[in-house]
Structure 1
Amino acid sequence: MSEIETLFGVLRQSADEGVVDMLERMVREAPDHALNRMNALDLAANAGLDEERVVAGLLHAVQLGMAEMTWSVICPSCAGVLSANKSLKTLNSPHYHCAFCAAGYETTLDNLVEVTFTISPRVRKIAAHNPDELPLADYYRQIFWSSAIELPPDLETLLREVTLETFDLPPGERAILSLHVPEGTLIVFDPVTHTAQFLEIKGEETSERQNLSMIFNKAETPTEAITLRPGPLRLALDNRTDGRVLPAVWVANPALDALLTRRKPALTAKRLLTNQTFRDLYRTETLAIGQRLKILSLTFLFSDLRDSTGLYQHVGDLVAFDLVNEHFRLLQEIIASERGAIVKTIGDAVMATFETPDRAIAAAIRMREAMSELGAERQYQGLLLKMGIHEGSCLAVTLNGQQDYFGQTVNIASRVQGLAASRAIVVTEQVVEHSDTRTLLEAGGLTPTRRSVALSGIADKMSVYEIP
């Protein structure tokens, strides 16, 4: 048996069989580019597989050294990769700038950072393992553009429609391009160094040669537009890096606009951090000590067993211990199935995160029913959960050696849980007003009851809602 067959055999012990079959088939048959920066959500959609199972399978493959994970900062406008990182620890800039779009963005994990997977050379050698040898179109497809853009199969043909000239310039070399520039907006752009120069071509056409020089040295350069007239242009290119650059003269036309607006879902860092398999495998060492990464919207669910002290007194330590452990198992199973993850447990309490409020609500309703069924099965009707849910911004941090969250949103969610009594689920206004939450509650025939409360540490009273 070969090493690859052995690795896939080990992967089958922890990952979904359908996912392993898909990956094994791809390694045997797929073109090189399909195995580079794989989009987990796209793979799931094309194979008809569950997204969470595909994500989990890829994470286990990374653990076995069969794949590599990349955290890419992407431009929300052009979907270009601004920074590719092997770990969240190297995401240490508060802002990123896209030269191609002449725009800057605050670093957040919601939609600015995507996570992709590349097959390891240990499993199969692919062209992207040596990006300096990729042709221009393949470099754009596999290195510059993220997995969130829907690229056509024949990208090379489309690139010809949106570029006047391209050049492959080796390290330390210079070149001169002579071209005739038409009226309109042009962008001289290199995807390797992310260097860009905008050209506004307007006015009366000239026959005199115009001159422009560009230096590529990986230093961020201003992107103010230079005005030229239609006509001949002598473009001097100087590569001062230790690798090749791929400058091209782009034409801002409808074909380029259409290309840059083609999108498909991608796995975001925020979603991966709320994935239970990821938390199980990467509970520590996700972020550097002192590192803080912003998330604009994350939903927190806090749950606690009501009167757990009474439980131990009523049924005894051994039975109570088994009940509490089964309660944790059921909660983790439900939370994971709703695309959430348990961040930590504190005594009999659980802190969990979800990508969206409706997922947290769905989990809470199922958790409540699961506790009723468990209580009936074990003949203890007092097994009830107190639950609170809140949504808002927060910071992803490392606390006590593991990836955690910090901020007012976390504090409010915890205090809202303290308001819960009996079987009620208490949520904040942000949660209940979410469109998908309203749809979920209406479908279940649940009508939240509003009340105004004062929370410790919060200046103004808040509206909370009890879901019966």
Structure 2
Amino acid sequence: MKYATKRYVLERDYPFSKEKIWALLADNNRLNLYIGLFPVKFSNVKKEGEGVFYREAFAKVGGLVPLRWQEFPFQWEENKRYEVERRYLSGPIKHFVGGIELLDAAPNSTDVTRVRLTAEFVPQNILGLAAIPLTGYKSMLNTFAYIEEFIAGKSGDLFDPPQKKEKHTVDFAELDRLTTVLRNWPVTPRSVDLLHAYIVTKSDHDAAHMEPVRIAEAWGMETDEVLRLFLYAAKSGVLNLSWNMICPNCRVSKSEQNSLSGLTSQFHCDLCGINYDASFDQFVELNFSVHSSIRKAYAEVYCVGGPMITPHVKLQKVIAKGATVRLPVPGEENLRLRVLQANDMAAVERNAEATGLPLIYTDAGWSEPVVAGASEITVQNASSHDILVALEQSDWSKNTVTAAQVTAMQEFRDLFSSEMLSPDQQIGIDHVTILFTDLQGSTSLYETVGDANAYGQVNKHFDYLTKSIGKNRGSVVKTIGDAVMAVFHLPEDGLRAALDIQQNLVEFNKGKEDPIILKVGLYSGPAIAVTSNDRLDYFGRTVNLAARIQGQGTGGDIIISRNYLDQPKLRAIVERGGNQVETFPAKLKGIEEQVELVRVCVGEAEFKEVLSVI
């Protein structure tokens, strides 16, 4: 027997902007949990014939009745609409298409949003016909209830969206015991109290995926402070840490490892259809979760394709074979149009003059590498199959803590010295800053004061350097004789550390008969992370250049690359305090070309050329 389609359209107005309602409803993992849907297991991407790809989904209604369906990609336009299609392979429903649309409740009004919910169900049998009003329609009403509970909370804070009451058990005795241990580390009482409350009150999903950047914003704290708290909490047994491999295009986690040694050099994204080389500063992120001895938090999956999973994608749409469509272009810069699975890309230039010609996609790729579009672009699918296109920000970076960032922190190296790559593993870093110091006249120091006294002074100078480096978000990689090699995630941190080292050396030398003099040099660029001598180390041209540049110092100075001064942020750091500067060419050992270097000296030393005339 063939059953007619059941269609529902519900509308309500709410006193929030479309942007806020979108942020609430486009997080489908949270929404689906709240409205009473069930956890789902998804297969990898599959494709049949000329149609667009899909995932097979498996679930049990009420934990008993099995369901299996093909879930096709979400289609959306940010802050306006989304919809999803499901074709059922078992169960009482045959077909479903549902979504939301956000409209202005009145002309020229942005303060009140009309939320329109749509759903189309095709029953498979009489049971499905009876179930649709009881489950499908009820889920739509629960969606409105989700918004209304958010409004009733009056905070308007998306960090605390409405939660379905979960039955989770917290071992308060263990939590209190371990947070007491945590308080012995250099953390504030307030931050520990906030973490305690978070572990007790948050959902399983939030407790299993604790994001330092997002949590820091909600707590009104600096990200570094929360990150340090979480590192100390992991060391104390309050939290676990793990490592996720992230696809650089869709920004979705593809695998999770409990230690750096479990990372692989390459990984595959089935959604984007391409292999990637692992990169410490782009594709490897640190994840925190509550320790299972305190609370067992399982992050069950309710949705894998919703808009909030890939917030850098402003529009996602299926374009059928042979179809021509117009796509609106949002106001963001650095947009590109990407075909999922094929990974073919075309840049979108909003300020360029439109040609009026469509951008054509064939089996060989896009007809042009760049398309002009101030407000919209026309796209023609001339390929042999349907395609899914994503209009996305190409320079968007997820608010995560990368491996490059955390492994450059002194706290991480001190607390987790056993975190290393496997012996044969090499992982690239696109951009890292390496700093070298050298103790000038160390040989004569040993001759003058004797081995024991000299050794004591050298060790104290190591402590001094470690403190200055750690204070500026860096870490000591190793000591080489009386020299130090340090790493920083950002060049400005390395430059600040170098200035701190030289500026505070006068105070460090007070009362010493044999004051120390340091040469400092730093350089930024790509490198390779490896395990060497049971520690995380760095190799490559950037490391070699940093060492050679430091060797150009004369003592009491900092040597940097000339291109540092071409970067406004770095130039401003150098300019502070009236530092004296000179530029000079240098021929570095092992480097063919001559390089332009800058000597920075704090204090009143005179140099040939000051910064203002560079």
Return the structure number with greater helix share.
Answer: 1
* Contact 2:478 2:486 survives alignment (8 Å): yes
Shift, 1:5, TM fit: 1.1
Map 1:8-157 to 2 at 5 A: 8-17=179-188, 18-94=190-266, 96-102=267-273, 104-128=275-299, 131=300, 134-136=301-303, 145=309
Distance 1:353 1:430, change over 3 A: farther
Q: Which has the higher contact order (CA 8 A, sep 6+)?
A: 1
Identify the residue that residue 582 of structure 2 maps to in structure 1: 449
Shift, 1:296, TM fit: 1.3
- One-letter amino acid of the counterpart of residue 269, structure 2: C
Distance 1:450 1:98, change over 3 A: same
Q: Say what the alpha-carbon RMSD is for the aligned residues.
A: 3.4
* Contact 2:245 2:283 survives alignment (8 Å): yes
* Contact 1:453 1:462 survives alignment (8 Å): yes
Identify the residue that residue 327 of structure 1 maps to in structure 2: 461
Shift, 1:456, TM fit: 1.5
1:410 lines up with 2:568 in the alignment:
no
CA distance in 2, matches of 1:196, 1:332: 47
Q: Alignment partner of 2:461: what SS?
A: helix
More moved, 266-275 vs 439-448 = 439-448
* Contact 1:79 1:260 survives alignment (8 Å): no
Identify the residue that residue 346 of structure 2 maps to in structure 1: none
Distance 1:260 1:23, change over 3 A: farther
TM-score for the superposition, normalised by structure 1: 0.71
* Contact 1:81 1:145 survives alignment (8 Å): no
Q: Alignment partner of 1:297: what SS?
A: strand
Distance 1:183 1:403, change over 3 A: same
Shift, 1:347, TM fit: 2.3
Q: Alignment partner of 2:399: what SS?
A: coil
Identify the residue that residue 297 of structure 1 maps to in structure 2: 431
Identify the residue that residue 343 of structure 1 maps to in structure 2: 477
Q: Alignment partner of 2:465: what SS?
A: helix
CA distance in 2, matches of 1:127, 1:181: 41
Residue 398 of structure 1, aligned match among 531, 535, 540 = 531
Distance 1:102 1:443, change over 3 A: farther
Percent same amino acid among aligned pairs? 30
Q: Which runs of 5+ in 2 are unaligned?
A: 1-171, 326-339, 344-381, 602-614
Q: Alignment partner of 1:2: what SS?
A: helix
Shift, 1:44, TM fit: 2.1
Identify the residue that residue 355 of structure 1 maps to in structure 2: 489
Identify the residue that residue 227 of structure 1 maps to in structure 2: 385
The count of residues paired between Structure 1 and Structure 2 equals: 376
Q: Which runs of 5+ in 1 are unaligned?
A: 152-157, 165-179, 186-194, 199-223, 229-249
TM-score for the superposition, normalised by structure 2: 0.55
Identify the residue that residue 415 of structure 2 maps to in structure 1: 281
Distance 1:78 1:409, change over 3 A: same
CA distance in 1, matches of 2:586, 2:321: 66
Shift, 1:366, TM fit: 0.5
- One-letter amino acid of the counterpart of residue 412, structure 1: L
Q: Alignment partner of 1:82: what SS?
A: strand
- One-letter amino acid of the counterpart of residue 55, structure 1: L
Identify the residue that residue 171 of structure 1 maps to in structure 2: none
Structure (1 or 2) with the larger CA radius of gyration: 2
Map 1:311-322 to 2 at 5 A: 311-322=445-456
